[in-house]
Amino acid sequence: MPRLPLFLRRSPPPEAIRWVERSLGRGYRVTSVRRLRGGTSAAVHLLQVRDARGETQAVVLRRFVRSDWFEEEPDAAEREARVLRAIEGLDVPAPRLLAVDPTGAECDVAAVLMTRVPGGTELVPADLDAYLRALAEPLPALHALGPIEGVPSYYPYFMGADSVSGDQPPPEPPSWSRKPDLWRAAARIVTQPWPQVRPTFIHRDYHPGNILWSRGRLSGVTDWVSASNGPAGMDAAHCRINLAGLFGVPAAEVFRQAYEAIAGVEHHPFWDLLDALDTTGGEPGWHDAGRHDLTAALLHQRDEEYVEMLVRRLC
């Protein structure tokens, strides 16, 4: 898999550091900077800061350095800030907003400054079943919020923001697929009318790369920039396809069973298939996050096995 581009790995420039210091208040100084691994849509760095009394703390700076992505999502920084304000106090561990520069007028680019949630990503768990159950536990509290005003409505990226279910041509099979007819069958299913559900607040990018762990316990949920109002099942679905890639299809099934038991719902496989077609083809940052065993060929194989299971379930 390709290495992350330099603009995602490069340290923040002086003007970004000065913006952080001004945002935190008089006397604050940034003393060290370290890139956080795994991000592909923005540059994310951990900053150690010292106040005028000599006390230190860690904060996280997300800078939207990908101009191609930001052109499509020009309100991304303000939207994430709005979400962080809305979920403050929710029984889901998440960063707290410190400052936002929606357009890059003060920082070098649009940016969000937030508190650091303790812990780190865990992509090789010692107890996979316990890990999968813990992943499912935050979702019911999150979805109990209901829709949040000012948060965009969910839409599949392959359909576009102005589309409605069933009005778009089906996506083409991935170029690497050995079973293109399988993907055509999947596309026919997801371009039919969707199951009727009441939209609620969803993370939209809920997967192991955005979950933090400390001493074997889930300690934080990060990366809220894609949050939407949409079907609750999309969060479980997005986690499932990522789990299938990381650990194999059986792990995605164990997670589904845990989610259904904890949330008291029956998860509809339509959302799984919709997200699979929306997600497959991107390059997840698993290598950057330390999973060097995951080759493109293995991820493609697991994706196809997962989609085949879902098509059988829906036909």
Three-state DSSP class for residue 176 = coil
- 36-78 pLDDT, tens digit per residue, is 875 667 899 999 999 999 999 999 999 999 877 777 888 889 9
- 205-243 pLDDT, tens digit per residue, is 999 999 999 999 999 999 999 999 999 999 999 999 999
Cα(212)–Cα(134) distance, integer angstroms: 11
**Domains of the chain and any CATH numbers:** 6-115 (3.30.200.20), 128-314 (3.90.1200.10)
Residues 189-212, mean pLDDT to the nearest whole number: 94
pLDDT given at position 283: 56
Give me the phi and psi of 48, to 5 degrees please: -90, 130
Three-state DSSP class for residue 250 = helix
The pLDDT > 70 percentage for the chain reads 92
Q: How many other C-beta atoms are found inside a 10 Å radius of the C-beta of residue 277?
A: 26
Which amino acid is residue 62, in one-letter code? Answer: R
pLDDT exceeds 90 at position 160: no
Cα(90)–Cα(198) distance, integer angstroms: 21
pLDDT given at position 71: 79
